[in-house]
Amino acid sequence: MKTLRLAVLGAGYIGLAAARACRDAGASVWAVRRRAQAGEAGVSFVAGDLASSDIPGLPGAFDAVVLTVAPSGESDSYGQTYPLAARTAVALARATGARALVYTSSTGVYGGQDGAWVDEATPRRGSGPGNRALLEAEDTLLGSGLDGVTVLRVAGIYGPGRDPRGRYSQPGLLPMRGEYWVNLAHQADIVAAIMASLAYAGPPRVLNVADGTPTTAADVARWCAAAQGRDPSSLVFDGENSPSRSNQRVSNAALVATGWKARFPSFREGFATGLHADDGRGDQGP
């Protein structure tokens, strides 16, 4: 069987986990990062600027390209990162004959939706420069004319090394007194969605990646309190009653229909067992 040749553009929290998981599944992987890094077995690291269409050090043929870019943290980093990286990914896929192109976007493009359910057909109404950059990147990939394009709109990312429980430990600071919807996706489940998309060869598509169990922030805070041996009924949600930037319930039905199944189907399983280095591994890599 031919060995899959894979380029991962943006080898950060999700990209590096995906690169290692694909390596463990037998692929040959080239991972592009902003700064040089020593390679490891099965993963060749390449230093490159994703804003440039030319990244020296990459081979001339790939079976798939994965774009998991993240902002640099600098001013206007979304605008300077996502659209340009999307163009680079499209150019690389086209030039190297890649049959699949996978991009991790965000469910933030839906823009809150006032607690309603959202799916892939829901109009994108996210505002602000960050969301405009995400929309431009999505449109670049979906309008590329390439087959095998999958845009994965990912909910709140957590997992080993990224523990969100701290934000719920101060319930008085939660907007809307915690009465807004939280949607999460564990690192291992995001990686599984990426890997499953590498075999897709159809017209461009969009899939939401979330655990499928939206929960109010107040309920998450109460669960965390109980897990710490505190009385959940003692929590006081007296914070500013301002709107949350994200208040929607994300449907993952389209992703589930492809055969994907969440290893962590709610925050409860993820917070209880999925926040250590070996908990999210399974068959998907670290």
pLDDT tens string 75-132: 568 888 999 999 999 999 999 999 999 999 999 999 887 899 999 999 998 888 888 9
Structure tokens at 162: 């990224």
Residue 70 has pLDDT above 90, yes or no: no
The span from the CA of 176 to the CA of 43, in Å, is 45
Q: What is the largest CA-CA distance in the chain?
A: 61
Give bridge partners of residue 33 from the DSSP assignment. Answer: 47
| pLDDT grade for 139, boundaries at 50, 70 and 90 | very high
Of the given ranges (21-25, 192-196, 281-285), which has the lowest mean pLDDT? 281-285
Q: Hey, what's the torsion of the CAs at 139, 11, 21, 17, to 10 degrees?
A: -100
Could you give the C-alpha distances from 24 to 27, 100, 159, 237, in angstroms and in order?
Answer: 7, 19, 19, 45
Give the pairing of strands 215-216 and 181-182: antiparallel
What is the pLDDT confidence band of residue 25, given thresholds at 50, 70 and 90?
Answer: very high
Inform me whether the pLDDT recorded for 282 exceeds 70: no
pLDDT class of 284 with cuts at 50, 70, 90 = very low
pLDDT value at residue 286: 25
β-pair type (100-106, 43-47) = unpaired
Most confident range, picked from 130-139, 204-213, 242-251: 204-213
Q: How far apart are CA 29 and CA 41, in angstroms?
A: 10
Q: How many CB atoms lie within 10 A of CB 119?
A: 16
Domains of the chain, start order: 5-163+183-214+250-267 (3.40.50.720)
Q: What string of H, E and C letters represents the secondary structure of the chain?
A: CCCCEEEEECCCHHHHHHHHHHHHCCCEEEEEECCCCCCECCEEEEECCCCCCCCCCCCCCCCEEEECCCCCCCCCHHHHHHHHHHHHHHHHHHHHCCCEEEEEEEHHHHCCHHHCEECCCCCCCCCHHHHHHHHHHHHHHHCCCCCCEEEEEECEEEECCECHHHHHCCHHHCHHHHCCEECEEEHHHHHHHHHHHCCCCCCCEEEEECCCCCEEHHHHHHHHHHHCCCCHHHCCCCCCCCCCCCCCEECCHHHHHCCCCCCCCCHHHHHHHCCCCCCCCCCCCC
Contact 193, 260 (CB under 8 A): yes
